[in-house]
A and B are shown apart, each in its own frame.
Chain A
Amino acid sequence: MGDAAARNFQFLAYGLIAVWAILAAYVLTLVSRERKIQREIESLKRILEDRGGR
């Protein structure tokens, strides 16, 4: 494999990795947002139950 061909292949790998890294980053932000929302919902529910119980 020549030098140019190797570089070519290397950049192909970079390209594929970049595409999936971007999509994975989006999925990760989705997951972290989901966690934050769940946490807030639970804490709010607890607060509401406490107040409702009294």
Chain B
Amino acid sequence: MREKILYALGALAALLLARNIWVMLTGLPDEAFQGAIFRIIFFHVPAAFTCFLCFFVALVASISYLKSGKMQWDSLAVSATEAGLAFGAANLVSGMIWARIIWGIWWTWDWRLTSMLVCWLLYAGYLVLRRAVEEPAQRARLSAVLSILSFAVVPFVFFSIKWFRTQHPQPVLYGEGKMDAAYRAMLYLNWVPLLMLAAVLIAIRIGQENRRRELDALRREAHSI
């Protein structure tokens, strides 16, 4: 039953995405200054949103694990972090391809790019830490603490790098450089399938984590004989 729901959700996400790409290419006019390439934003920005939402879910799951000591929370934390890293990578790479056209360079040490990279590295450290700890309860505990610390440093990273340098186009959802309503609608509309996809990935990963725990239990049993 659970798997059927997941497949259905995945299929729905794929359908929505296909529709969005179609509308994006045929229904929306090119942006005045950037031409066709601006459409990357419909993936670039929602991917970043999804990434941070995943990290936030990981934070909540980590706190809940430390409070309750239930392993399910640990599974959720690691799954959300992994999915967040995947979307973060998608965000970084699509941004680089956009920058190659608009700025003429692949990478620039602008604050948003740098902050995103730092966050990505922080959470990649989380996965590295998990690999280094053998004992499941200890692994869950240490990585939960790391997740909390990492999330606490994210705002500092953003503000500090922001004061340091700025080149990225201003935020497009609020403030002066506000996007046209049709574009904004498209952006949010494309966020929905990405969120669904993230949910499916996290659910699959949780199932995997549970099976891995089962495997660990079997291993211990095999050892004890």
Direct contact of A and B (CB under 8 A): yes
* A9→B34 CA distance, assembly (Å): 11
| A48-B208 contact given A12-B40, A15-B97, CB 8 Å threshold | no
B72-92 at interface with A (beta carbon < 8 Å): 82-83, 86-87, 89-90
Would you call A37 and B215 a contact (CB within 8 A)? yes
Would you call A11 and B90 a contact (CB within 8 A)? no
Query: Which of the residues A9, A18, A26, A48 comes within 8 Å of B222, measured between beta carbons?
Result: A48
Contacts of A14 in B (CB 8 A): 97
Interface residues on A, range: 20 to 34
**Total A-B pairs, Cβ < 8 A:** 84
| A44-B222 contact given A8-B36, A23-B90, CB 8 Å threshold | yes
- Can you name the residue of chain A whose Cβ is closest to the Cβ of B42? A16
Would you call B221 and A37 a contact (CB within 8 A)? no
B27-51 at interface with A (beta carbon < 8 Å): 34-37, 39-40, 43-44, 47
Would you call A26 and B21 a contact (CB within 8 A)? no
Contacts of B222 in A (CB 8 A): 44, 47-48
Q: Interface 1/0s, chain A 1-38, versus B by CB < 8 A?
A: 00011011101101110110011001100100110011
Majority secondary structure, A binding face: helix
Majority secondary structure, B binding face: helix
Contacts of A45 in B (CB 8 A): 218
B66 to chain A, nearest CB (A): 26
Query: Which of the residues B47, B201, B204, B211 comes within 8 Å of A37, measured between beta carbons?
Result: B211
Query: Which of the residues B83, B98, B215, B219 comes within 8 Å of A15, measured between beta carbons?
Result: B98
Query: Which of the residues B89, B97, B212, B225 comes within 8 Å of A51, measured between beta carbons?
Result: B225
* A34→B210 CA distance, assembly (Å): 11
Interface residues of A (CB under 8 A from B): 4-5, 7-9, 11-12, 14-16, 18-19, 22-23, 26-27, 30, 33-34, 37-38, 40-41, 44-45, 47-48, 51
The 9 A-B residue pairs whose C-beta atoms are closest, nearest first, are A26-B86, A15-B97, A15-B40, A44-B218, A8-B35, A19-B90, A9-B36, A22-B90, A8-B37
